[in-house]
Chain A
């Protein structure tokens, strides 16, 4: 499978715990994006990387959220001290510089 891969697909965690998600982009894509989607809404931009550099972060990305893309390959999104409002689908996408973005299947987070 040469598409965008996300792991895990589902995560249930207790409020206050830390969680980390992983995204493996399409191999030749140098741009990687994270989005969050809640029920009945379109995906909302969180952050993106060009190679290993994080170029933009949304104001939605509070200080409890951190994203990394070491060596410009896979990326991780960590949420510290999770809250019930963090429950959502977290989507990763990748693209070349001026082309369409392809999404993974997402990680569904439930905070109980």
Chain B
């Protein structure tokens, strides 16, 4: 079993829809949770960064972390064709106060249809 599980999609939605992307994980030591967006043949771009449980909102993006269920989500409101990309969840533990290596999901390919 992988430490981080993510539905690879592809996920196709009409423009303006609300998108929900999810990851589950098995390592209870994970405390830092990130979502990256990756366009084809480009490096991952950081979208959201969350420490421990709770919600965080940034514009059209909302990240949720439920540590009790080991489940994280990213919601995209009013989705746009420019949101079409692969979305990667990533998480890390902390040892000695320092963030450890990131463990990634496989990524979900999102297509927003105009």
Contacts and interface: CB of A to CB of B under 8 A. Distances in A.
Interface of A: 4, 6, 31, 33, 35, 40-45, 48, 50, 56, 89, 91, 93, 95, 97-106, 108
B114 to A, nearest CB: 25
B45 A42 contact: no
B46 A100 contact: yes
Given A42-B88, A106-B43, A101 B94 contact: no
Looking at B34, B45, B88, B98, the one whose CB has the most chain A CB atoms below 10 A away is B98
Nearest to A43: B104
Contacts, number: 66
A108 B41 contact: yes
Nearest to B94: A98
A56 B104 CA distance: 17
A71 to B, nearest CB: 20
A65 B94 CA distance: 26
B60 interface: no
9 contacts: A33-B102, A42-B4, A42-B104, A42-B107, A43-B44, A91-B44, A98-B94, A100-B32, A103-B44
B103 interface: yes
A45 B49 CA distance: 19
Contacts of B99: 31, 95, 97-99, 101
B98 A50 contact: yes
A65 to B, nearest CB: 16
Contacts of B106: 40-42
Contacts of A56: 101
A91 B38 CA distance: 12
Interface string B102-114: 1111110000000
A97 to B, nearest CB: 5
Contacts of B49: 99-100
Contacts of B101: 33, 45, 48, 56
